[in-house]
């Protein structure tokens, strides 16, 4: 297992596509190394007593993800035909491993950085143009697997620092005939989704045949989810939202939710480009946030194994 110094000096850790990616990859990697050193210092005694080390890795196999889900003893049936496949988060993974027990494995934190808006730089470098919206949209694939691993825990130790502006209607991968939107990519609305994508996702959101709007996550999971989103965006209680929407059918409700989402997201997107020159500064500041999240996760692990 490599220590932080060896990992820092390894020049092959990153193979960036362009200058922006190089800066982002380097900064998120160095932030993870800072977090690793911080945790090793803060929990030095606990780690030694338990024969545990904090390990850094670049890949996470489907097999390892399935094994982590199995430890929760909630689900038993899995498709294990693709266990050798991996996800490769840009910032890598920090995990706990026991030197004396190869089966002991607990994830502390996973980090990603996604920068979209690079076709001008790719062309300068002699690389092919990529579909606009590609980088951020592909994040959903990793996120779906990570959420599944931590679905029954209080904290999902995943952080992504996303940035970019190269999002043009009908040029993202969701419009490509060769890259149909997967179910996982349609399970969420991203902050940078344009109005057409938002409308498509909400219109295709699963509902029931009753056509009455009220909150019942057991019998009406789909409409209850949309109702929750609506209430949160309007800063309402669920019952208030139910009363407001009681005379609408599902189609009318979805149109109303689409308008509300696009209004909120539009305000965020208008300011988004202002953050481009500050990416490096933001990543440095968020190193402290990574430390806090990783510490919370370690404390949960300590509680789980009943260590005082």
Please say if the pLDDT value at position 167 is more than 60. no
Which of 113-117, 135-139, 166-170, 203-207 shows the lowest per-residue confidence on average (mean pLDDT)?
Answer: 166-170
Instruction: Give residue 94's pLDDT.
Output: 94
pTM score: 0.48
> Domain segments of the chain: what residues?
4-184+273-304
Q: What integer best gives the mean pLDDT of the chain?
A: 77
Residue 273 to residue 258: CA distance in whole angstroms: 23
Instruction: Give residue 240's pLDDT.
Output: 93
β-pair type (101-116, 158-164)? parallel
Q: Mean pLDDT over residues 215-238, rounded?
A: 90
Longest dimension (CA), the chain: 64
Structure tokens at 44: 């030095």
Q: Mean pLDDT over residues 63-75, rounded?
A: 79
Residue 49 to residue 172: CA distance in whole angstroms: 51
- Per the model's pLDDT, the better-predicted residue between 77 and 18 turns out to be 77
Confidence label for 164 from pLDDT (cuts 50, 70 and 90): low
Confidence label for 77 from pLDDT (cuts 50, 70 and 90): confident
Among candidates 46, 34, 161, which has minimal Cα distance to 106?
A: 46
Please say if the pLDDT value at position 17 is more than 90. no
Span 275-297, pLDDT tens digits: 666 776 777 777 778 888 888 87
Instruction: Give residue 5's pLDDT.
Output: 47
Among candidates 212, 279, 216, which has minimal Cα distance to 248?
A: 212
Among candidates 296, 283, 52, which has minimal Cα distance to 150?
A: 296
Highest mean pLDDT among 34-43, 59-68, 142-151, 288-297: 34-43
Span 129-147, pLDDT tens digits: 655 555 666 677 778 778 8
CB burial of residue 142 (10 Å; 0-12, 13-18, 19+): buried
**Residues near 304 by beta carbon (within 8 Å), at least 6 away in sequence:** none
Please say if the pLDDT value at position 231 is more than 70. yes
For domain 4-184+273-304, is the CATH number 3.90.550? no
- Per the model's pLDDT, the better-predicted residue between 4 and 101 turns out to be 101
Which of 170-174, 206-210, 290-294, 300-304 shows the lowest per-residue confidence on average (mean pLDDT)?
Answer: 170-174
Instruction: Give residue 149's pLDDT.
Output: 81
Buried b (16+ CB within 10 A) or exposed e, 76-102: eeeeeeeeeeebebbbbbbbbbeeeee
Which of 41-45, 137-141, 189-193, 270-274 shows the lowest per-residue confidence on average (mean pLDDT)?
Answer: 137-141
Q: Mean pLDDT over residues 84-105, rounded?
A: 88
């Amino acid at each position: 297992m490599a220590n932080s110094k060896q990992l820092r000096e390894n020049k092959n850790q990153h193979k960036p596509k362009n200058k922006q990616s190089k800066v982002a990859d380097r900064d998120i990697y160095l932030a993870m190394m800072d977090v690793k050193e911080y945790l090793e210092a803060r929990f030095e005694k606990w780690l030694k007593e338990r024969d545990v080390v904090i390990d850094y890795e670049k890949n996470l196999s489907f097999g390892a993800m399935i094994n982590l889900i199995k430890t929760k003893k909630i689900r038993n049936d899995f498709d294990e035909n693709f266990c050798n496949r991996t996800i490769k988060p840009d910032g890598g993974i920090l995990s706990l491993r026991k030197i004396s027990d190869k089966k002991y494995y607990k994830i502390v934190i996973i980090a990603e950085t996604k920068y979209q808006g690079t076709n001008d730089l790719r062309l300068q470098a002699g690389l092919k143009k990529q579909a606009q919206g590609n980088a951020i949209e592909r994040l959903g694939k990793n996120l779906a697997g990570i959420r599944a691993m931590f679905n029954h825990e209080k904290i999902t130790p995943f952080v992504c620092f996303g940035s970019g502006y190269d999002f043009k209607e009908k040029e993202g991968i969701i419009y490509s005939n060769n890259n149909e939107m997967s179910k996982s990519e349609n399970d969420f609305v991203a902050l940078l989704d344009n109005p057409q994508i938002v409308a498509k996702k909400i219109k295709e959101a699963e509902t029931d045949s009753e056509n009455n709007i009220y909150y019942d996550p057991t019998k009406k999971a789909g409409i209850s989810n949309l109702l929750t989103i609506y209430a949160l965006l309007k800063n309402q209680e669920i019952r208030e939202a139910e009363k407001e929407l009681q005379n609408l059918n599902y189609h009318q409700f979805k149109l109303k939710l689409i308008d509300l989402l696009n209004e909120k997201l539009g305000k965020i997107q208008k300011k988004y480009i202002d953050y481009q020159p500050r990416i490096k500064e933001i990543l440095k500041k968020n190193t402290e946030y990574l430390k806090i999240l990783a510490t919370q996760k370690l404390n949960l692990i300590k509680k789980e194994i009943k260590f005082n």
